[in-house]
């Protein structure tokens, strides 16, 4: 199956790894909505099941939730 460049993936975020539930090329940052290619995805929250572009977005998310 060939995926279009605009195909978003659905992931299950675990401790130190993620599982692909629906294939895609990227996920969206929970704060900025910017696409994050799966091969560069490094930051996510297991408890929130969200991806972040960088640690700064994660910190911003924690501030807004608190």
d(CA 9, CA 26): 6
Predicted confidence at residue 32, as pLDDT, reads: 96
- This prediction's pTM: 0.87
Residue among 34, 60, 30 at smallest CA distance from 46: 30
Neighbours of 29 (CB within 10 A): 21
**DSSP 3-state helix, strand, coil percentages of the chain (rounded to 5)?**
20, 35, 45
Tell me the pLDDT tens digit for each residue of 42-51. 999 999 999 9
Tokens 């900025």 -> residue: 32
Tell me the pLDDT tens digit for each residue of 16-62. 999 999 999 999 999 999 999 999 999 999 999 999 999 999 999 98
6 pairs with which residues across the strands? none
d(CA 62, CA 34): 18
């Amino acid at each position: 199956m060939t995926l279009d460049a605009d195909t978003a993936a659905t992931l299950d975020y675990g401790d130190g790894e993620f599982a692909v539930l629906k294939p895609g090329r990227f996920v969206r940052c929970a704060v900025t909505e910017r696409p994050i290619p799966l091969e560069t995805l490094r930051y996510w929250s297991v408890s929130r099941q969200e991806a972040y572009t960088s640690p700064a977005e994660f910190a911003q998310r924690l501030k807004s939730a608190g």
